[in-house]
Structure 1
């Protein structure tokens, strides 16, 4: 029997298809992908690309006091690191700021325990700035939030005269932090942001953390309703810039919770391709 080919005049028209429920176990699928990425990052060699020596930055903005060490992990205290913390803290909610700090601590703990070598300041700055795309002031109408955040971080770091090659590592770390399959093949600082944020989001890799370290991290940077806050951020993206989540896991949240969510599935796009077969 010949399969019927569906052709649409526009991407938006594809939303009228009756869709099958997909990725009902999306968190499990994401965890499997993140687990593979974690294994790849921790078992693979560090990327060999050279990055120029760190820039001290030129911001005098003091950050509110942070501990110097949490769970055995040193918090970088360079001028640039302090400026990044002050910036992230100023524009983010307390819940979001605690998430980016946990991201660094989780990723650093896992990498340190496996002997992975990485640039600590570079990884810290990337982790601290990785969710700027969830801040409305830095959101564009159509770009994915990861790209919005990467662009905002790039602007911030260029203003502080960070060397261009280092800026691009931070850009990649932020743009790829929800893409473990790619992040795991890049520099360790890039993989670390992906692994740390993924652990905080899904719990994947938590078995690699000592229980006392986890307790200390959660005491210093408590979750404070992180799950609900993250869900609200995802739904906000789905409502205000729905096409930015096209072919993104966040689209499944929109389909589940928002009536008339206009973003087509991958199947919709495939069947709408203007080819007769």
Structure 2
């Protein structure tokens, strides 16, 4: 088990610096710290599991994964995960990334809240998902030493993250609650709006135009 955060490096290149500048400009301290923790937790898991993956792409997707919650990148009618995925694709396309990596980055962000699916995709997709899961819900907690967890939080503080991130989710898609149907973010809408009439999959089937 890795115990020294100094063994984990954050990629540094022109494209990484540009991605960081975008988060600083359109994100906030919550998104910045969370995104960097997500990368570090994903990177450490990848290192400890001896996986092959693109570290720079993992870091860039970690930086972009919640930008769909911001005014700059939020659409009127798409899931916030898709907004973030579209943003990273557009960003990487200006650096002439090949189609495979563009799709890999898009999938990583679009699926980062999709339980039961993302962890079975390519390593870059799975590691972003695991990094998010660790920072938000403590998934795979025991895979990380106490020293590593403390060092990451010291470098990128959590503050009142548990409450703040739920609020950030809500603020990011309260104008389009219908986009949370069928995914875990519907719980956020219900948390702030208990009376919101959530859609129901069984009702969708029964109300369809089919006779039987």
Fold shared, TM-score > 0.5 on shorter chain: yes
CA contact (8 A) 1:117 1:188 kept: yes
The separation in 2 between residues aligned to 1:87 and 1:198, in whole angstroms, is 23
Cα displacement string for residues 228-266 of structure 1 (whole angstroms, at most 9, x for unaligned residues):
222112323453101111111111232243154143122
Counterpart of 1:246 in structure 2 is 181
| 1:80 partnered with 2:12 | no
Q: CA 1:109–1:92 in 2, change beyond 3 Å: closer, same or farther?
A: same
Q: Identify the match of residue 129 of structure 1 among 39, 64, 71.
A: 64
Task: Report which of the two structures shows the higher radius of gyration computed on alpha carbons.
Answer: 1
What is aligned with 2:38?
A: 103
> Do the aligned partners of 1:139 and 1:145 also contact (CA within 8 Å) in 2?
yes
Corresponding residue for residue 106 of structure 2:
171
Is the contact between residue 80 and residue 173 of structure 2 (CA under 8 Å) also seen in structure 1? no
CA–CA distance in 2 between the matches of 1:84 and 1:268?
42
Query: In the alignment, which residue of structure 1 is the partner of 2:155?
Result: 220
1:118/1:188 contact within 8 Å kept:
yes
Higher deviation after alignment, 228-237 or 171-180: 228-237
Work out the CA distance in 2 between the residues paired with 1:206 and 1:102: 14
Shifted more, 72-81 versus 234-243: the winner is 234-243
SS in structure 2 at match of 1:224: coil
Task: Pick the structure with more helix per residue.
Answer: 2
Residue 92 of structure 1: which of 27, 37, 45 is its match? 27
Equivalenced residues, count: 209
SS in 1 for 2:121: coil
Residue 138 of structure 1 aligns to a residue in which SS?
A: coil
Q: Unpaired runs of 5+ in structure 1?
A: 1-68
- The alpha carbon displacement at 1:113 in A equals 1.0
Task: Specify every segment of 5 or more residues in structure 2 that has no aligned partner in the other structure, as ranges.
Answer: none
User: Measured at CA, do residues 165 and 229 of structure 1 come closer, stay the same or move farther in structure 2, by a change above 3 Å?
Assistant: same
Q: Whose relative contact order is higher, 1 or 2, with alpha carbons under 8 Å and at least 6 apart?
A: 1
Alpha-carbon distance between aligned partners in 1 of 2:143 and 2:117, rounded to the nearest angstrom:
22
- Counterpart of 1:205 (choices 140, 163, 176) is 140
Report deviation, 1:276. 4.0
SS of the residue 1:137 aligns to: coil
The C-alpha deviation readout for 1:187-222, integer Å capped at 9, x for no partner, is 101111000001111111111001101110000001
1:232 aligns with 2:167: yes
Partner of 1:139: 74
Matched, 1:184 2:119: yes
1-side partners of 2:164 and 2:147: how far apart?
Answer: 26
Q: 2 CA distance for matches of 1:121 and 1:259?
A: 41
Once structures 1 and 2 are overlaid, which stretch shifts more, 260-269 or 182-191? 260-269
